[in-house]
Structure 1
Amino acid sequence: MRFIGFDEADPLLDWTSIADAIADGHRQPEAEIGDLLLSQDGRSLLNRGAWIKGLGIALKSVTIYPENQSKTPPLPSIQGGMLLFDDATGAPVALVDGILVTKWKTAGDSVLGARLLARPDSRRLLICGAGTVAHSLIEAYCEIFPDLESVAVWNRTLEKAERLAAEYSGSRIPVVAAAELAVAVGEADIVSTATMATEPFLKGEWLKPGTHVDLIGAFRPDMREADDAVLTRSELFVDSRRTTFGHIGEIQIPLDAGTIVEGTIRGDLADLCAGKAGRSGVDAITVFKNGGGAHLDLMVGALIRRVVEAAG
């Protein structure tokens, strides 16, 4: 069994290949998935398993220790790994760094959704949030949408957005900090949210026709980033019904309130990749909820293993 570390594999990957791998994975037999969450004193151990016939089996285990960031020196708050098994023999074949998988899975999921739903002529990207995921989103969207003309970053703390923008000074596509969220949303063709918000901050009234909204941050039942108007004004899609319904507040809270119904969801990635769903027209506002899931970890992990083995 091989260990695949972050530094070994990260330089070998690109966002186009990741998006393609996730799309190809959704053309395979439907994944069997399962989760196990253990918690003590605000700390968590999250275990996610997936099995896709012909692709393999994966078990991803990560610890979530929020207080690690305040240690001296700071430690990662999320740590773990993913074990890959051969589908034919059941033998373990690789242990892959969990941060590596999460980085490429999270933004890869979103840019595949955008590739399938956003207008190809999109020119302005707005990223809400200035954390680790925002770095990946800047790089992923600039690769998948090479005709982008500008990237704006908004954060509740403006200084943090300014620091992130400064990291990309001199880049091919300008990255700037946005001070006024409503103005930045109204100018954007694509809005991608990657925050830890529990209450909606993105308002549907700010969105112009044709905008694509990529919702990433809300991953717990009590979390939301978008208000009801974002959902009711839009054509709504998710990466997977099974990992969003009943699990993620962004979808389940408005379902419970009757603001939307299950039929409001026009499709998931399986439908989109099969050509069974898509945006209705250029002026439609589209929303894609990135819910994650072990099946996506498996698709990305299998690609990472292939790329590393091909590189020797």
Structure 2
Amino acid sequence: MKQLRILSTGDLAGIDISLADVIATVEGAYRTLHAGESDNPRKLTVAPRDGHSVAYAMLGRDGTRDVVAIKTSYKHGLDKGRDEQHYYTSLTLYDDATGLPVAMMDCARIGSLRTPAVSALLARELAPPGARSALAIGTGTQGRLALPFLLTTLPGLDRLMLSGTHPDGIRAVRDELHRHFPDREVEVVEDLKAAASDADVVVATAGGHTPAAVEADWLKAGALSVLVGHGLAPSTLHRADRVIATSEAQMNVTGTDMADANGQLPSVDAEFPPVLAGAAKGRTGADERVFAYNSGLVVTDIALGHHFAQLALTQGLGTEVALWQ
């Protein structure tokens, strides 16, 4: 039947999934992509000249699941405060074996899980040996799960730091950490330079209006800095000993705010899928300062979205719509 199952924000919110399951699903998508079994073309983007909004479209195919999908994201009010912004993102999945639609879903929860899972995988592969301390910058959607995911792949972390200014966001970070790791606490830091200089792993997830900007000189030898949103100065990229990106093409599209005075971005030393698969080197020395650019690949959205869709189907969630009838 050519009916489309719609999975709303509420439908997906009720689905229980472990952090380890999310990480395994995302890691599998990367490995399948590296094996040449999936397709992840460069994302398309459009934005008005005044920069008040931005929209992305990403098409991909998961060869393991035989699923084709398209993800769209639209954010409005980039020139306004967080409470005045609007953000909509959706994922539509099709079964490439039967030719039938699988589901259309709100992709916000998928993205809120997929992105910190990727950061955690980057940290697992690229953090300095014996990493003990981590600093998360930002308390928005991505910042709230950054530390729990990091602890899942780096259980040896014993100092967790947070740089943030929004009381509700800080409270949400603490709540998420306690939900997954009830015995762990996060230290809210005011001196960003001091915190960054003590961190083995820095994950920057802040929004575009953040005043936070960690400089390369602040980082200790061997530190890993992961850029998801904002919170790192361009020097951390340009002066890094090694640069890894989930996708160099996407970094060149979405990472222009990290360009140097000539508008240039450095070449990456390796992309993450082959690093994860063991076909390329990530870190090559304990004292290397490594910069990692975390730009979401749609194949990870497809894998996690399809997993959620299957869980939703077994639970009878969603609404079927006769869109093509």
TM-score range, shorter chain: 0.7 to 0.9
Equivalences for residues 84-99 of structure 1 within 5 A: 84-99=93-108
Task: Quote the offset at 1:30 in angstroms.
Answer: 4.3
Q: Which amino acid aligns with 1:59?
A: I
Judged with a 3 Å threshold, the aligned counterparts in structure 2 of structure 1 residues 76 and 100 are, in CA distance, closer, same or farther, namely farther
2:282 is matched with which residue: 275, 278, 281? Answer: 278
1:266–1:67 CA distance, 2 compared to 1 (3 A):
closer
Which of 10-19 and 165-174 deviates more? Answer: 165-174
SS at match of 1:89: coil
Q: Can you list the C-alpha shifts for 1:281-309, whole angstroms capped at 9, x where unaligned?
A: 32222221001132332232123234444
Structure 2 residue 145 is the aligned partner of structure 1 residue 133: no
Stretches of structure 1 that go unaligned for 5 or more consecutive residues are 219-223
Structure 1 runs (4+) greater than 6 angstroms displaced: 67-71
SS at match of 1:12: coil
Describe the superposition over 1:130-188 as per-residue Cα deviations: whole angstroms up to 9, x where unpaired. Answer: 22211121221222222222221113x37567545654696422112101011000111
Match of 2:77 in 1: 66
CA contact (8 A) 2:129 2:286 kept: no
Q: Name the CA shift for 1:203/1:36 in 2 (closer, same or farther; >3 Å).
A: closer
Distance 2:9 2:46 in 1: 26
Is the contact made by 1:204 and 1:228 (CA closer than 8 Å) also made in structure 2? Answer: yes
Aligned to 1:192: 203
Q: Higher relative CO (CA 8 A, sep ≥ 6), structure 1 or 2?
A: 2
Distance 1:102 1:26 in 2: 15
Amino acid paired to 1:92: P
Residues 244/169 of structure 1: CA separation in 2 closer, same or farther (3 Å cut): closer
Contact 1:12–1:308, Cα closer than 8 Å, also in 2: no
The aligned residue for residue 288 of structure 1 is 292
Check conservation: 2:225, 2:236, Cα contact below 8 A. no
Instruction: Assess if the C-alpha contact under 8 Å between 1:31 and 1:295 holds in 2.
Output: yes
| Alpha-carbon distance change, 22 to 168 in structure 1, aligned in 2, over 3 angstroms | closer
Deviation string 1:241-276 (CA, Å, 9 cap, x unpaired) is: 22112442256x24955673x2xx221122112202
Tell me which residue corresponds to 1:239: 246
Structure 2 unaligned segments of length 5 or more: list them.
Answer: 317-325
Give the SS at the match of 2:31.
coil
Classify 1:295/1:95 alpha carbon distance in 2 versus 1 (closer, same or farther; 3 Å). same
Q: Residue 52 of structure 1 is aligned with which of 62, 66, 90?
A: 62
Cα distance in 1 for residues equivalent to 2:240 and 2:155: 28
Residue of structure 1 in register with 2:319 after alignment: none
TM-score by length of 2: 0.79
Aligned with residue 39 of structure 2, among 28, 31, 34: 31
Cα deviation for residue 226 of structure 1 reads: 2.6
1:251-270 equivalence runs, <5 A: 253-254=259-260, 260=266, 262=267, 265-270=268-273
Corresponding position of 1:221: none
Distance 1:237 1:8 in 2: 36
* Other structure's SS at 1:113 match: helix
Indicate the residue corresponding to 2:320 in structure 1.
none
Give the TM-score of the pair, scaled to structure 1: 0.82
Q: Which residue identity lines up with residue 72 of structure 2 in the other structure?
A: S
CA shift in 2, pair 1:232/1:95, >3 Å: same
| Residue identity opposite 1:118 in structure 2 | A
Change (3 A) 1:89 1:303: same
1:200 Cα deviation after fit: 7.8
Give the total of aligned pairs. 300
Residue aligning to 2:323? none
* CA distance, structure 2, for counterparts of residue 274 and residue 181 of structure 1: 34
- Deviation sequence 1:53-104 (CA, Å, 0-9, x none): 3431111123323289879xx6872123210011223321111221111111
- Does the residue aligned with 1:47 lie in a helix, a strand or coil? strand
Verify the 8 A CA contact 1:152 1:175 in the aligned structure 2. Answer: yes
8 Å Cα contact 1:168/1:174 also seen in 2 = no
2:321 paired residue number? none
Q: 1:267 to 1:303 in 2, by over 3 A?
A: farther
Task: State the SS of the aligned residue for 1:33.
Answer: coil
% of aligned pairs identical?
19
1:235 CA drift (Å): 1.5
My pick for the range that moved more, 55-64 or 41-50, is 41-50
